[in-house]
Structure 1
Amino acid sequence: MEVPKTQRALVIHEFAKGQVLETNFPVKEPGIGEVLVNIKFSGVCHSDVELSEGRLPIPVTLPVICGHEATGVVVKVGENVTNFKVGDTVGIMMMFSSCQDCEYCKVANEFHCKDLKLAAIHTHGTFQEYTVVSARHVHKIPDNVDLSKAAPLHCAGVTVYRALKESSVKPGQFVVITGAAGGLGSFGLQFARTMGMRVIAVDLGEEKRQHCLDLGAEHFIDAAKPDFIEQVVTLTNGGPHGAVHVATATKPVEDSFLYLRKRGTVVVVGLPRDPIFKGDIGMFVLKGITVKGSILGNRKDMDEVVEFFARGVINVPVKVMGLSDVPEILKMLHENKITGRIVVDPKK
């Protein structure tokens, strides 16, 4: 398969200075244990907004290419790669590599590895036509799936799936998902329903109600309503057993301490610009509330997510735009104007 020497890529040279669309960016050769993938679609995540403005709580190596959830086709394989061949359809996670030998890697918590390398943080991401990735963190995608819809599975999908697992909510119990109409929330509603949970969707704006109900929410509650907390408690017969926060704000987290039932679990995923939240420690103690952070998901989680999708039980509406549209997309994300997920085609 013939591979060009140069390509289109969206590059950040300075934070908060925009992304430059370069048309002669070099195509890298895969090294030992790596594969070169021709990117077909790449999802756009809210963390791309924070990254482009230099707001992530992780040091980023510049220049850098954003994008970390993608699908594509293997066009070259490096030495010692035996599990992939040219022509394989694959999905790319944010995890680029990990040591595989520390206490976290040994129990499949690679995302806490001290030597973890992340796409669009430590190495170039997927807002380009071709990218080199570790064969260990690439996943085979069934040939019959829509690659545009499968791309967001590899960050948004697996992240919220892992968070739902961390919530410890059992089948038949209530879970609240905040930011429910966005990319992660849209996946979360469907995963929670498929896992047997009773789902309460929370977001801002009545225009998001039908979207959430269509994706499996039992009820939708507009968080802007003055009686929003009372509504949550009433509809869940005394409070939900868990709350998963994918909204990028602190208030939803603070609100959940008020409506969560005793022994409930709060799982925080979204990264707000103001990361400091307030909580009543006495309430934590008296109600026995557990608060967790959750990031990404492991390879087993990813395999399960792809299986759900291949079976047709997960389907998030996506809109396909071009690489040159990314600045506009990031602005829409910042203004909370996106329902579902936007993916970009690097050729456009």
Structure 2
Amino acid sequence: MATKIPETMRGQFLEAYKQPYQLRTVPIPKPSHPDDVLIKVDAASYCHTDYVLAQGQMPGFPNSFPHIGCHEFAGTIVSHSDHPSPDATRFRNGRRVGVTGRAFHACRECFECQGSTDPIAQDEKGYSVHCTRAENNGISKDGGFAEYSVVDARQLAPIPDNMSAVETAPLMCAGISIYAALKRCQLEPGDRVAIMGAGGGLGHLGLQYATKMGFKVLGVDAADGPLSLAESLDTGARIVDARSEKAADIVDQIGAEDGKRDLGEKGVDAVIILPESQASFDYGMTLLKSHSKCVVVSFPEAGFHVSSRDIVFRDISIIGSLVGSNRTLREMLNFSAEHDIRAVAKSFPLSGLNTLVENYHKGSGGKLVVDMAVDG
């Protein structure tokens, strides 16, 4: 039996930069492109990028106001376009799916879509999350802070049976971002990785992924709430308060543990930078041994200052990481289901999105999620 779709929906709209969201009732969007599917949104997770966008710190985005944010959400497919593509017909109505915001209507023709050399971000020929012509749900077009949303079938990942929509939504950006960053570290089991910002939305998931991947994990943060969250996970990772422990002392301790004497061979094999502060970047670089990798996920408005001496004399490779391919997305979801990896999350009703944002500014760590099943 076909799902009855109402004519209108509620959505939370940004109507200007630096303003609260406004709850409005509007017509439900319709799938028109062959790759389009309409989903009933079941859960929508708040990301730091939602804050950056709302503050006007992403010049040119959104394309226009009013705008529905959220690029990490999950829902149930309820309809297709009149002439669906093979990619769209792979998903039947009623299928539960996770949605990552990139890349809506990837062009199929550009260099990226035709096959770049990036093994982590490249999908089958004809689609790429790095397509420069694509739009992005929640950033350049409407996203998941609404009861319904039109998405590109090529963005979707089936939700494992043992995971809920509320558990899935935070993984559609935070999960795939930190999982892909760990893959870019190119580590072997037993290698050491440090995660700067270990108690945040990405960081606390990274602690779980990294330990399940068999790495020796160092989690670093500099605030009480995130540190408490990181420690509560009981992953076996060493949690460090950067306010009271110097990076150079940590390096010496690791060297002693590993039986290493020379400065260049003491430290971690890779560090992932999640916070936007220069202090965090510098701390992470100090933790690295020579010939290792610094993977940068954050993108502060003013950028980072990088020491040429680290790059030249210590042979540190600095690598950027955004998200992973749809293939990597599905791998991450299945890994999460298999190893019982979940975000520590607090749920709010759609009508409580501004309260959610207030909680975000308290900086307690973890993820904040709109649960459409919660009345309000």
* TM-score after normalising by structure 1: 0.93
- Residues in 2 aligned to 1:294 and 1:58: alpha-carbon distance in whole angstroms: 22
Which residue does 1:36 correspond to in 2? 38
Matching residue within 332, 336, 340 for 2:359: 332
Answer yes or no: is the 8 Å Cα contact 1:30–1:132 preserved in 2.
yes
**Which residue of 1 is the match for residue 221 of structure 2?**
203
CA separation of 1:171/1:183 partners in 2, compared to 1, >3 Å: closer, same or farther? same
Matched, 1:100 2:108: yes
Shift of 1:215: 4.8
Q: Name the residue aligned to 1:47.
A: 49
For the 8 Å contact 1:254–1:277, the answer to whether it is kept is no
Residue 138 in 1 paired to residue 156 in 2? Answer: yes
Structure 2 equivalent of residue 344 of structure 1: 370
Which of these two proteins has the greater Rg computed from alpha carbons? 2
**Aligned partners of 1:175 and 1:199 also within 8 Å:** yes
**Corresponding residue SS for 1:97:** coil
Flag the 1:15–1:205 CA change in 2: closer, same or farther, 3 A: closer
Residue 308 of structure 1 is matched in structure 2 by 335
Q: Mapping of 1:138-287 within 5 angstroms?
A: 138-213=156-231, 214-225=233-244, 227-237=245-255, 238-272=266-300, 274-287=301-314
1:189 CA displacement? 0.7
1:34–1:73 Cα change, 3 Å: same
What secondary structure sits across from 2:291 in the alignment?
coil
Counterpart of 1:14 in structure 2 is 16
Structure 1: how far apart are the matches of 2:93 and 2:306?
Answer: 52
Aligned position for 2:98: 91
Report deviation, 1:135: 0.9
Match of 2:262 in 1: none
Partner deviation per Cα, 1:138-169 (whole Å, 9 max, x = no partner): 11112332221111111000011001111223
Shift of 1:67: 0.6
Where structure 2 has 5 or more consecutive residues not aligned to the other structure, the ranges are: 123-127, 256-265
Cα displacement (A) at 1:279: 2.5
The runs of at least 4 aligned residues of structure 1 exceeding 6 Å deviation read none
The Cα shift of 1:342 comes to 1.2
SS at structure 2 position matched to 1:180: coil
CA distance in 2, matches of 1:197, 1:312: 15
Which amino acid is 1:69 matched to?
A: E
Q: How many residues align?
A: 344
1:200, 1:217 within 8 Å by CA — same for their partners in 2? no
Over the matched positions of the two proteins, sequence identity in percent amounts to 29
- Over the aligned positions, Cα root-mean-square deviation in angstroms equals 1.8
1:57 CA displacement: 5.0
Within 1, Cα distance between the matches of 2:273 and 2:355? Answer: 25
Contact 2:71 2:99 in 1 (8 A): yes
Compute the displacement of 1:25 (Å).
1.4
1:301 is paired with a residue whose SS is helix
Local SS of the residue matching 1:144:
coil
Query: Is the partner of 2:313 in helix, strand or coil?
Result: helix
- The answer to whether the Cα contact below 8 Å between 1:97 and 1:137 also exists between their aligned partners in 2 is no
| TM-score, structure 2 as length reference | 0.86
The alpha carbon displacement at 1:339 in A equals 2.1
SS in 2 for 1:104: helix
Check conservation: 1:221, 1:231, Cα contact below 8 A: no
| 1:58 CA displacement | 5.4
1:338 maps to amino acid: S
Letter in 1 for 2:54: S
Aligned residues of 1:251 and 1:277 also touching (Cα < 8 A): no
The secondary structure found in structure 2 opposite 1:243 is strand
In the aligned structure 2, how far is the partner of 1:204 from the partner of 1:14?
A: 32
User: How far apart, CA to CA, are the structure 1 residues paired with 2:222 and 2:296?
Assistant: 18
CA contact (8 A) 1:201 1:219 kept: yes
Amino acid at match of 1:54: G
User: Which segments of 5 or more consecutive residues in structure 1 lack a partner in the other structure?
Assistant: none
How is 1:292-303 mapped onto 2 (pairs within 5 angstroms)?
292-303=319-330
**Contact 1:41 1:72 survives alignment (8 Å):** yes
CA deviation digits over 1:279-322, x for unaligned, max 9? Answer: 22123211000111111111111011110122143122221112
Residue 68 in 1 paired to residue 71 in 2? yes
